[in-house]
Amino acid sequence: MRPRTIIVIASLTLTFTILIVGLAGGCASSALPPRITPEQRALLQRTQIDVTIGVEDYQFPVYSEDLTKTLGKAHLFTRVDRLANFTTSPDVVARIEETIHGSATIPVLTGLSLGIIPTTVNEMHGYSFSLGRPGAATPRVPIRFAYKGPTTLGWWAVVLNLLPNRTMRDVDSHPRFIESFAWEIATKRDAIESLKTK
């Protein structure tokens, strides 16, 4: 095979690989939360909180929509839905108390170098909300699950995503995030269930 043909084939292969990895989200890598212990996992698997939860709409709907989805994925409650979707009052109402989100960063060098020069920023992930009885100002049970970790953009992220504590997915849809989030809620089970009986 002629050298020029080899170069063309190698270039096309590299371009195709870059496109596939890029389209799959492989050019971003975020840190996952710490794992819960096996004992915590065993307890979590036996935990069920017998309440229905309605999530108040937040002024920026993406936050309340994401909280509703993640609370549902925790599989702790009888029902989780937007407050507006309940025909009768839920047992408990969730209200966002603080917006936790990533850093707004424009990866200029990463873009200009076509991903060769990585951009890394520290980002916060998690949720901060409270649970209370419908129509009552107090008492409320505060729940804050948050952690900070590096997010890397560029081709170096492909290598980082091979590590067990990293993901190229949205962090809050990762099973490890959901498990840690659920554990934080489970530690307040008694306080949450007491809201139903007051």
Q: What is the pLDDT of residue 115?
A: 76
Q: What does the CA dihedral 119, 180, 100, 57 come to, rounded to 10 degrees?
A: 140
Residues spanned by the domain of 96: 3-197
**What's the structural domain count of the chain?**
1
List, as one string, the DSSP characters of 120-131.
Answer: EEEEEEEEEEEE
Q: Are strands 92-98 and 49-55 parallel, antiparallel or unpaired?
A: parallel
Positions of E strands within 10-134: 28-31, 49-55, 77-82, 92-98, 119-132
Cβ atoms of 23 and 17 within 8 Å: the answer is: no
- What does the block give as tokens for 23? 């389209």
Count Cα neighbours of 105 within 13 Å in the Cβ-side half-sphere. 19
In this prediction, residues 132-147 reach a mean pLDDT of 93
Q: Tell me the residue length of the chain.
A: 198
**For the whole model, what pTM was predicted?**
0.82
User: 98 pairs with which residues across the strands?
Assistant: 128
- What does the block give as tokens for 168? 């190229």
Given a cut of 90, whether residue 27 has pLDDT beyond it is no
pLDDT level of residue 21 (50, 70, 90 thresholds): very low
Q: Are strands 49-55 and 77-82 parallel, antiparallel or unpaired?
A: parallel
